[in-house]
Structure 1
Amino acid sequence: MISPDGRLKEELLDVVPLKDRTRGIDVKEAMMDVFREANLSFDKLTAIATDGAPSMIGSVNGLMGLCKSDDRFPDFWNFHCTIIVNNLWQKHSI
């Protein structure tokens, strides 16, 4: 979020264990529950950075595809986390 003095502020909202499955719909439902519990408006979610797992980046059934097709997220952006990519690159180069 942007603070009143114009600085970018990051906060961790929650960590939620997924009990049985980790499909895109499971991740999205857990995320929506956290938003509801925190009384946050869904349209406040503008972007997510994820790893490259199919359940996250899938264009139809992944979290990204599900959010992009949901009218409650009108200006949604997704990003592949470059820290994860960099970490994998370093592991393979050693």
Structure 2
Amino acid sequence: MPARYCQDSPDAILCCALEDMVLLYHRPSGQTNMTISPVPEILATLDDGAALTADEILGQLALRYDPGEPGEALPLVEAHLAELAALGLVRIA
């Protein structure tokens, strides 16, 4: 069964866009992380509190953006989710 990812709460992360970069302030840890696309877009798919698989997140991204070839995009989404989980910005539900 694939892992499902979610945010603890939508207000746990504050975003500040600076040109092509987005700063993510994680309130619970007090840490700020610098990110670029598609990380903010991945987090936006989890804003409503839903627990989604990497494939479901890619499907949501594809509704608004061109994520590229699915065979290439899915491993990238999975890698970003693993990094976000390691930072505590998302968790495995």
Regarding TM over 0.5, the answer is no
- Write 1 or 2 for the structure with the bigger share of strand: 2
Of the two, which has the highest radius of gyration?
Answer: 1
Instruction: Compare relative contact order (CA 8 Å, sep 6+) and give the higher one, 1 or 2.
Output: 2
Q: TM-score, normalization: structure 1? A: 0.30
